[in-house]
Structure 1
Amino acid sequence: MPVFLKSLKQNGHLERIHITVCIVGSRKIEGRDDYGSQGWDIFAPNLSIYGLDADPEACEQANADIEARQVNWTEKHIPLALWNCEGSFPIYVTNFPGCSSLYPPNESYLERFQEQNLDWHKLVATVEIETTTLDNFCATEGINEIDFLQLDVQGAEKQVLEGGIKILEKSIISLKTEVEFNYLYVGQPLFSDIDIYLRDKGFRLFDLSLEGRAVRKDSLISSSVHPGTLFVGNAFYFRDLVQGNVANNPNTPEKMFKLACLADMLEFTDYALEILAYLTRNYGNDKNYNFAREIVESLSQIPPLVEKGLDSLPIIVEMRSYLT
């Protein structure tokens, strides 16, 4: 749960920024896939969400749902397949549509694991589709800035990043990407490839959520310590604007404030606090970037900190000196 956004909203700070989210692979399979109902609506009406998915039906359903709910932010889903270039490529449609990919499923490898893993990735059809790039999409839609990017494209995440190099270097400050640690698809880039690519572009890995493991087909048991082979996870990256500028993506106070908001939204509370305190120390003479009140208010709502005694906490003592 975010710690600072409620106070920032109540005190009018969120009115000065607009958050743009782009979700590549935006099929809504479960509740957490719907950003607007997962707390992101706190940025509304200054919130734009663009969903891109190769499945036109999934986009149509998402758009119909948004229209029926009459949300107070901008959200639209566009049927596009992203790659690192424009062209015509086969998409490998699997038994579970959410596992379809521009890479063929690695069936000979998956056969070695229990049935569900092979069943989800079982190839049922190959369809030729047209691809474009994230940069071309942004140019067509007149999108000059994306703040947060999410990727879930079944092994093609690195190709999407390569096709979005302009917007990546120009504006993106945070991203979440699905990563694979073993070859679920033939020839796909793995986590290490994506990590090297993003680090070279000025991003820092903040966390990994390890979400998918598989047990060997012939095994009747698995270890509680190592419960199967690691397949899939999500990697969370941020720019470190406290440390310094990144090429073409300077650490302006507004961009740093956006970064703090995204960090809080994604529950990286320590980073959000570091940035808000940094802005207060360095730009606190400008009331728009003095967040002492919000820091004190928010931390005062956390029972363990209250029990310790707020006035004994160095950050509280320091921030109170900026309240006037």
Structure 2
Amino acid sequence: MDSFYSKIKLCSIDFLDIGCSGNLDNKWFPILSFINYTGFDPNQEECERLINLSNKYKTAKYLPYAIAGEEGEKKIYKTKSIYCSSLLRPNHKWLSRFIYYDLFTEIGRDSVSCVTLDYLVCKKNIKADIIKLDTQGLELPILKMGSKILKNVICVETETGFLENYVGETTYSQIDEFMRENGFLMFDMKIRKVGRRNFLSECGEHQPMWCEAIWLYDFIGQKRKCSEKQAIKSLAICRALRLYDYGFELASYFRDAGILDTIIFEYLNNQKTWEPSLWQRFFQNYFPQKARNKWKNKIKNKLKRIFGFKIL
């Protein structure tokens, strides 16, 4: 067990997953047990299925809402891959040049009732420290209509195209401008490349099509004070994302502002405090959630055969 989070007195982190489609990425593994998770899926049956799955979160709930930049009934374009369905129509002329074009084949349309983040704040008392968005081109409209919640957010994870893979999609350059205007700094980016539809599609380098980016609020640059709870959450997020230098810079700022306890700061003023053990790094980086669950189930079944009843 990693003692870092108990030593800094972390209680919980509110995580909104907009466009949820399974387990969170491994980078969030260190803080899973502290996360109050809220996932959104417009399908009520899918929400019920997801809530019945086992998870490692502190709490978990799934709400049957489609999140958009405005409220009301919208048309959803259903595609061959459920992960490519969107309120925006695929840009077929552009996508047809790439090997993954088939995933965007339209198989039907449906109507969904959409709400905004600001609506959820007012009507459902939704809170967030971390927001993850994977909404096929709607990230910017959603964030723009989430000002009530964004003002308290520490971390945002976006998945955004570099070009219009959907008609009317907002692209990374627009997200970058918006996030910087709202006091966020980009700390990580995973670029996803796709080959073109010819015999060289698996050779050489390919064009970047979209990226996953991590943004953290710049408390120092914005000269914004916060509560002790927010400070602790910020440090925990930095540790989980392995942004140790920024985490300690924040710790120093919070200490100087009289927000962070001196005892906690002294604990953080040590390189070994920030670096997880070799075993923890291996477990997080090379032993994904699916493999962990499979390994755990094997142990459970073996113990049951030995003792004749369920042990874990």
TM tier, smaller:
0.7 to 0.9
> Does 2:87 match 1:87?
no
**CA shift at 1:88, angstroms?**
1.1
> Does 2:213 match 1:228?
no
Match of 1:110 in 2: 95
In structure 2, distance between residues paired with 1:162 and 1:285? 31
The alignment's TM-score, normalised by the length of structure 2, stands at 0.79
| CA shift in 2, pair 1:181/1:48, >3 Å | same
1:291 alignment partner, one of 252, 262, 265: 265
| CA shift in 2, pair 1:178/1:128, >3 Å | same
Question: Partner of 1:14: helix, strand, or coil?
Answer: coil
In structure 2, distance between residues paired with 1:59 and 1:163? 24
Report the AA paired with residue 94 of structure 1.
T
| CA shift in 2, pair 1:12/1:266, >3 Å | closer
1:9 alignment partner, one of 5, 27, 32: 5
Match of 1:142 in 2: 125
Report the AA paired with residue 232 of structure 2.
F
In structure 1, distance between residues paired with 2:229 and 2:183? 19
| CA shift in 2, pair 1:73/1:274, >3 Å | same
- Is the 1:27–1:59 Cα contact (8 Å) retained in structure 2? no
In structure 2, distance between residues paired with 1:13 and 1:283? 17
- Is the 1:198–1:204 Cα contact (8 Å) retained in structure 2? yes
Match of 2:287 in 1: none
In structure 2, distance between residues paired with 1:168 and 1:35? 22
Larger deviation: 48-57 or 273-282?
273-282
| Gapped regions of structure 1 (runs ≥ 5) | 304-324
Report the AA paired with residue 257 of structure 1.
I
In structure 2, distance between residues paired with 1:300 and 1:236? 20
Question: Partner of 2:219: helix, strand, or coil?
Answer: coil
Per-residue CA shift, 1:112-146, capped at 9, x if unaligned? 112xx111111111111111111111222223x31
2:237 alignment partner, one of 262, 271, 279: 262
- Is the 1:92–1:104 Cα contact (8 Å) retained in structure 2? yes
**CA shift at 1:223, angstroms?**
5.8
Match of 1:216 in 2: 196
Count of residues paired in the alignment: 277
> Does 2:232 match 1:276?
no
Residue correspondence of structure 1 range 1-324 to structure 2 within 5 A: 6-11=2-7, 13-15=9-11, 18-28=12-22, 31-33=23-25, 38-43=29-34, 47-66=35-54, 73-114=58-99, 117-143=100-126, 145-169=127-151, 171-210=152-191, 212-220=192-200, 224=204, 227-246=205-224, 250-283=225-258, 286-287=261-262, 290-296=264-270, 297-298=272-273
Larger deviation: 194-203 or 268-277?
268-277
In structure 2, distance between residues paired with 1:160 and 1:86? 11
| Gapped regions of structure 2 (runs ≥ 5) | 279-312
Question: Partner of 1:231: helix, strand, or coil?
Answer: strand
| CA shift in 2, pair 1:228/1:301, >3 Å | closer
- Is the 2:85–2:136 Cα contact (8 Å) retained in structure 1? yes
The alignment's TM-score, normalised by the length of structure 1, stands at 0.77
Per-residue CA shift, 1:236-280, capped at 9, x if unaligned? 11111123435xxx4344323321211222222221122223334
| CA shift in 2, pair 1:203/1:284, >3 Å | closer
In structure 2, distance between residues paired with 1:165 and 1:206? 22
Report the AA paired with residue 291 of structure 1.
F
**CA shift at 1:221, angstroms?**
5.5
Report the AA paired with residue 232 of structure 1.
W
- Is the 2:4–2:273 Cα contact (8 Å) retained in structure 1? no
**CA shift at 1:39, angstroms?**
2.8
Identity of aligned residues (%): 26
Match of 2:300 in 1: none
| CA shift in 2, pair 1:229/1:241, >3 Å | same
Per-residue CA shift, 1:147-193, capped at 9, x if unaligned? 11100011111111122111112x11211010101221111110011
- Is the 2:161–2:210 Cα contact (8 Å) retained in structure 1? yes
**CA shift at 1:107, angstroms?**
1.2
Question: Partner of 1:199: helix, strand, or coil?
Answer: helix
